[in-house]
Amino acid sequence: MPIRVQSELPAKEILERENIFVMDENRAVHQNIRPIHIAILNLMPLKEDTELQLLRSLSNTPLQVEVTFVKVTSHEAKNTSMSHLNKFYVEFSEIRDQRFDGMIITGAPVELMEFEEVDYWDELVEIMDWTNMHVTSTIYLCWGAQAAMYHYYGLQKRLLDKKMFGLFWHRVKNRKIPLVRGFDDVFLAPHSRHTEVPVEEIRKVEEITILAESDEAGVFLAMADGGRRIFVMGHPEYDRVTLDGEYHRDLDKGLPIDIPKNYYRDDDPSVKPLLMWRSHANNLYTNWLNYYVYQATPYDLMGTPDFEYVYSQLAKWKSPKEIPDDYNFVI
């Protein structure tokens, strides 16, 4: 699919070298197509790396996707230049009155802090509440998923004995849900976190349906409100060497860190890691864009007073488990 970004975004050149169709705004205006509008609230410290990873993940359907990168104003980024942020990011106040087909809220390296201690917590809560009537479907990644479960359902995170780090095997649950369509029965996905939301606590929340989980890593994928809220506890967007970079970073800092599990061949960090999760990661984002974004939004977003009709159609069943097998999510 063509990814529509600003022509000077550094990730654009890298994606083009990977033969990913990237369209700048000049070419896009000549196509008579309404693009899918996706906002990305990027809370990760290495923002340019995350931009590339997420754009790569969104590039596998025929849809034209226009991405808007959003930044918080209550936190000063230390690992990304202000010139980059000022040129390629917008503040929430600039999009407050807009509507988006989808949104991604990333993780952040603040999991050892209480949610309310994070300097941009109030701003994040405002954005999460804003999505209720301005975004059709939102993906929350890693710490972002923990934050959303805490905000919406009061679920507390808990500290792990040691970092959940590496690739872990997961089992697919609830196969009738389109979000996991095309997934194998078991699959690998990356995790890199010090905390978790206990699976037994998630199961107590009737509104949440678990779609994939691991005996070791707990819940990986869950959803609520007919797919309006999607929680991804790991990092499917990570590229081949992300875990490698995190491992050597912590080693260099003298921090306690195990070799990432199931990542290096024979657990040898000198060997180039195998890429063993990309197909399922691509499938996840493709299914999200198709079934929960593209097929669930009207052609004219701005002409729609709100999304209540769409939401009511997706919420006709008390739980996704009740959705008929032949329902195709076309509104």
Q: Based on C-alpha coordinates, what's the Rg of the chain?
A: 19
Phi, psi of 266 (to 5 degrees): 60, 25
Is 123 annotated in the active site?
Answer: no
94 is catalytic: no
3-class secondary structure, 40: strand
- Catalytic choice (142, 191, 196, 280): 142
- Catalytic-labelled residue, pool 51, 196, 237, 246: 237
To the query of whether residue 246 is one of the catalytic residues in this protein, the response is no
Contact 64, 24 (CB under 8 A): no
Place of tokens 């999760």: 277
Rounded to whole angstroms, the Cα distance separating 141 from 18 reads 25
Q: How many CB atoms lie within 10 A of CB 122?
A: 12
62-101 exposure pattern, b = at least 16 Cβ within 10 A, e = fewer: ebbbbbbbbbbeebebeebeeebbeebbeebeebeeebbb
Q: What does the block give as tokens for 38?
A: 């996706």
Of the residues 134, 170, 191, 235, which is catalytic? 235
**Per-residue buried b or exposed e for 299-316, using 16+ beta carbons within 10 Å of the residue's own CB:** eebeeeeebeebbeebee
How far is 284 from 282, CA to CA, in rounded Å? 5
Q: Pick from 119, 107, 180: which is nearest to 149 by CA?
A: 107
In the block, residue with structure tokens 């890693």:
142
- Residue 165: its H or E element: strand 158-172
CA pair distance 286, 36, nearest whole angstrom: 13
- Start-to-end Cα distance in the chain: 23
Distance between CA atoms of residues 154 and 205, nearest Å: 10
Report the catalytic residues: 142, 235, 237
